[in-house]
Structure 1
Amino acid sequence: MSISSDGIKKDHNQLLLRCIGEQLAELDLLLSMYPDEAELKIEDFVAVDELRRLVSEVDVDAMSECQFRIGFTFRIIGTSNLECICRLSGAYPTEKPPGLFLRSDWLSRDRLRLASEALANQLEEMFKPGEPMLSWLTEFVSTNIPTDEDASASTATEAGAAETEATTDQRLCRLWIHSHHIYNSLKRRDILNWSAELRLTGFSIVGKPGIVCVEGPESAVEEFWQRLRPIELEETHYEGERCLSARCY
């Protein structure tokens, strides 16, 4: 007995709707734990409200066209602006852990990248399909990411790392990313905002296929790639970094 494409699509939408409902329940728990926006800030309240409406109305068909996803920033009070930016795909919590990256004003980019990678690896190890992770995630970040005291104790190390990073930043690199497609407006917004924040130049092509090309200091290009990986561009191919003598874009 064959299953029609419409039946498969409906099953997928039902699963997506259930996942979004579970994400909203977890988000409500976090908001009760961290009511101060200085600690937990929702990225887009309009998106959250629309997702709540779809879940409450059990609007399965609308999930096919829905591009809204839940995102939030968790800031650790008592540190120099250390933030954990979390994005929830439709595959959480059934198939994949949350996507995230760290941002900080006082950690060097190399140290921040290592901390982000360690956190992502820990998420992969702890992830169990169908089980909530967000409250565990905020607790883990609060207790395991370096504090101001750690930063002060390693000033000399950070100074050496900063010198190395400055040398690295003198090297210009170009990164090519090919995706099966780029249609989602939120993902396109992230690509533009992050490239501007990191002072990267280049271009992106939306549609099918989707292409992203960025140029800039090597450490900034690496951070851009670390941020981009969790947002789930379809069938992404990463060509690696190429050293440049000058920017072309």
Structure 2
Amino acid sequence: MTTVAKTVDNIIKDRHLNQMAAESETPNAKTEEEIECLRAHLTAQLREIEILESMYSMPGEFYLHSPTARADLENFCMDKSLIVPTEISYDIKLQCEQNIPQVPATELVATVTYPLDYPLAPPNVHVRLLNHYATRQHQHYLNRALTSWIKSFSKGDPCILQVFTWIEQNTTSYVSSIRPLQLSSSESEGDQQPAEVEFERLWIYSHHIYGKEKREIVMAKARNLELTGWMLIGKPGLICVEGMRQDTRAFWEQIRRLSWQRITLKHQENSTIPADNVAKEQKFSKFKEITTTSANNSNSAGGTQSGNRDMGEFFRFLKEHDCEHIIQLVFGIKNQNSNTNEETS
């Protein structure tokens, strides 16, 4: 009885193993097929990036958000790695001629993110207008029209060059020909701009800020996100950015990934304000570099690792901009009660 039971048990186990092996053949084959399909998509992305790098080769024209992601993409495409890379994203700086006498070209930054299955799926493209006369309303309508056009584009072929061509050909109509009041009156009920927005000011403390390349990256990210504030060069370093909360958070998430000895989100100030009151809430007119010897000089050339720091001048700069509470929060010099929330990388 025991022997028969063992024999039946063994037969059942054998059948179960055979069934598992049979069922596993199709998924494995499908997985290999999916990997090859993904590799084809990512190879197309890599080729398109190489073309863009050759076309937009001037300093500041092309900025890849993560060189590590680029290396992972190359390794996967060359079959050197089976690790699926993260999505590739980059910025392209474009100029759109107005073709109107004495009217400057419209400058913009297009942020592009490739889904892993691009070009089968459409790319994600968001445009930021850099000219002072271009409002968020102009930008909103331009991006809405661009997204709609991309979705109507045929799938399966790389299309980012066609996207840039569309941007260059259509941006002027959203900046010069259409006034904000006209745009506002044509808005649909479900696409109204919010009456209130979340405004935020971040105070970011760094062990030091010296390197030219890192400073250029920080400056570019702040300006591309339309943030105002400043970056104090030297040791210690301090960064202040202010603007829409989604933009200040994007800035923090991007710069914290850079190589720092230590960087901390030292303090944050949040408020809900009317959408048309952002400029009044800002304490700074633009984003710039400052040093302790030129805190009041908008043409600061940046800092070096030598020389004494005149922190008294910097503290006066903070007081002039109604930011003296930061002296105690960051440097512990003035005794003033305030809540501090820190995030460290």
TM-score (norm 1): 0.57
Query: Is the alpha carbon distance of 1:87 and 1:62 closer, same or farther for their aligned partners in structure 2, counting shifts above 3 Å?
Result: same
Structure 1 counterpart of 2:74, which letter?
A: R
Alignment map for 1:105-184 (pairs within 5 Å):
105=130, 106=132, 107-126=134-153, 128-146=154-172, 150-151=175-176, 157-158=179-180, 171-172=196-197
SS state at 1:114 partner: helix
Q: Find the residue that maps to 1:62 and give its secondary structure.
A: coil
Q: Detail structure 1 runs of 4+ shifted over 6 Å in the superposition.
A: 159-162, 193-197
1:53-132 paired onto structure 2 within 5 Å: 53-56=75-78, 58-59=79-80, 61-63=82-84, 66-67=85-86, 69-77=87-95, 79-94=105-120, 96-105=121-130, 106=132, 107-126=134-153, 128-132=154-158
Deviation at 1:50, TM superposition (A): 2.1
Deviation at 1:169, TM superposition (A): 6.9
Superposed CA offset, 1:90-139 (max 9, x none): 02012x1110111123322122111101011111112x232110121122
Change (3 A) 1:158 1:42: same
Separation in 2, partners of 1:18, 1:171: 45
* Structure 2 CA distance for aligned equivalents of residues 160 and 119 of structure 1: 19
Cα distance, 1:217–1:92 mapped onto 2, change above 3 Å = farther
Counterparts in 2 of 1:158 and 1:123: CA distance versus 1, 3 Å: same
Distance 2:273 2:42 in 1: 38
Structure 2 contact 197–275 (Cα < 8 Å) conserved: no
SS for the counterpart of 1:86 is strand
**Amino acid paired to 1:88:** Y
Q: Which residue of 2 aligns with 1:45?
A: 67
Question: CA separation in 2, counterparts of 1:160 and 1:133?
Answer: 31
Displacement after TM superposition at 1:34 (Å): 1.7
Change (3 A) 1:219 1:26: farther
Q: CA deviation at 1:198?
A: 4.5
Secondary structure of 1:92's partner?
coil
User: How far has the Cα of 1:161 moved from its partner?
Assistant: 7.6
- Structure 1: any 5+ residue segments left out of the alignment? 163-167, 174-192, 204-213, 221-249
User: SS in structure 2 opposite 1:90?
Assistant: coil
* Equivalent residue, structure 2, for 1:10: 32
Name the CA distance, whole Å, in 1 between partners of 2:32 and 2:271: 41
Q: Cα distance, 1:47 vs. partner? A: 1.4
The number of aligned residues is: 179
Per-residue deviation at 1:219? 5.7
Question: Relative contact order (C-alpha < 8 Å, sep 6+): which is higher?
Answer: 1
Offset at 1:172?
4.5
Q: Relative to 1, partners in 2 of residues 1:103 and 1:61: Cα closer, same or farther, differing over 3 Å? A: same
Give per-residue Cα distances to partners, 1:125-160, cap 9 Å, x unaligned.
12x232110121122212221289x53x66xx3489
1:200 and 1:216 in contact (8 A); partners too? no
The Cα of 1:10 is off from its aligned counterpart by 3.1
Query: Percentage identity across aligned positions?
Result: 15
Cα RMSD for the two superposed structures: 4.0
Mind listing any 5+ residue stretches in structure 2 that lack a counterpart? 1-21, 98-104, 185-192, 199-223, 228-240, 250-269, 277-345
